Amino acid sequence: MSDSKDLTNPTTFQFWWEERVRFNDLDALGHVNNNALGVFFEQARIALLQSVGGFRDADEWTVVLARSLIEYKAELLYPNTVRIGVCGLRLGTSSMTIGVGIFLGDRCVATQEAVCVIVDKTTHRPTPIPESLRAALAPA
């Protein structure tokens, strides 16, 4: 996998999640606050992980966010519904870089590169990326 994918292009993504902008997501100027966009990114990452078996009580693994790089591209206002695309950029043994893009129609509002580490729930130590997750993040 390569991190050269264009996160501002909707065709880059193979997994999608939808979020509605809430009134309480707004800042003093009426724009969606940067913290609210962070929650949108997180919700999409978690939805992808849940779709492959993560974040369930019976699972032996979970994911922690180690690094987040967000680029803001355009303002987002209320009311709106956004689509959030998720794709794999790089896969290591126990860490991965996930690309995420928030879109209003085909216009990119913000992108994120999130470095995540798979950890064993019992030991809290890094553990190999599960094959189901590796397959979900593989290039389409």
Per-residue pLDDT of 66-96, as tens digits, reads: 999 999 999 999 999 999 999 999 999 999 9
pLDDT band at 98 (very low <50, low <70, confident <90, very high): very high
CA–CA distance, 65 with 46 (Å, rounded to integer): 11
Q: Where are the domains of the chain?
A: 10-137
HSE-up (13 A, CA, CB side) for residue 68: 17
Strand 81-91 to strand 15-20: parallel, antiparallel, or no bridges (unpaired)? antiparallel
Cβ–Cβ under 8 Å, residues 76 and 109? yes
Top pLDDT among 8 and 60 is at: 8
- Model pLDDT, residue 53: 76
Residue 106 Ramachandran class (φ > 0 left, ψ -120 to 50 alpha, else beta): alpha
Per-residue pLDDT of 26-69, as tens digits, reads: 999 999 999 999 999 999 999 998 888 777 888 888 999 999 99
Model-level pTM?
0.90
CA–CA distance, 61 with 72 (Å, rounded to integer): 31
CATH for 10-137 is 3.10.129.10
Find the mean pLDDT for residues 8-25: 95
